[in-house]
Amino acid sequence: MMKLPTYTEPNPSIEWLRDEQARLRSQADKMIAETRIMDVLAKHGQVSAIEGSYLYELMMYPDLDIGLIAEVVTKQDFANLLSDLAAHPAVRGLSANDTISFNLSKRPMPKGYWIGIDIPFENDRWGIDCWLQQTDWGTDQKDGDYANRLKNL
């Protein structure tokens, strides 16, 4: 499980926040290039562009959000993806949830399979949140006023 970093600056300046955002984004790109983790995901479907704080240039934690879309997704496809990720030398740990058969959350969750990937890289411990979904499961989570406001920050 990804551990959130501890900041020593109780009241960070805008400049510090911008510098940290730039550092994290640069490290994310480097981690992705060096580990080639997206290649493992791409064997199982179409990998989306990186979303969330990376997309909005608001990174404060070493955390990435991506989608993985396939025409058809079965529980066995999910297991095969988990197996390939577990075999990857950069992956320290995995977490996974099936929200198709077991949508027990009190908050709305997308329909699909969630995988949390833990990758230590240089001085950060990266968490990658990945949703494996089928094309007809309503995968577009980017609509709405909230996403538009974040894009325009």
- Between CA 82 and CA 73 the distance in angstroms is 13
- Between CA 28 and CA 121 the distance in angstroms is 9
Share of the chain above pLDDT 90, in %: 71
Structure tokens at 102: 């077991």
Closest CA to 82 of 35, 125, 41: 41
- Phi, psi for residue 18 in degrees, rounded to 5: -65, -40
- Give per-residue pLDDT as tens, 57-83: 999 999 999 999 999 999 999 999 999
Q: Please give the residue that has the higher pLDDT: either 133 or 151.
A: 133
Domain ranges of the chain: 14-138
pTM of the predicted protein model: 0.85
- Give per-residue pLDDT as tens, 33-56: 999 999 999 999 999 999 999 999
- Phi, psi for residue 151 in degrees, rounded to 5: -60, -30
- Give per-residue pLDDT as tens, 93-125: 999 999 888 866 666 778 899 999 999 999 999
Is CATH 3.30.565.10 what the domain over 14-138 is classified as, yes or no?
A: no
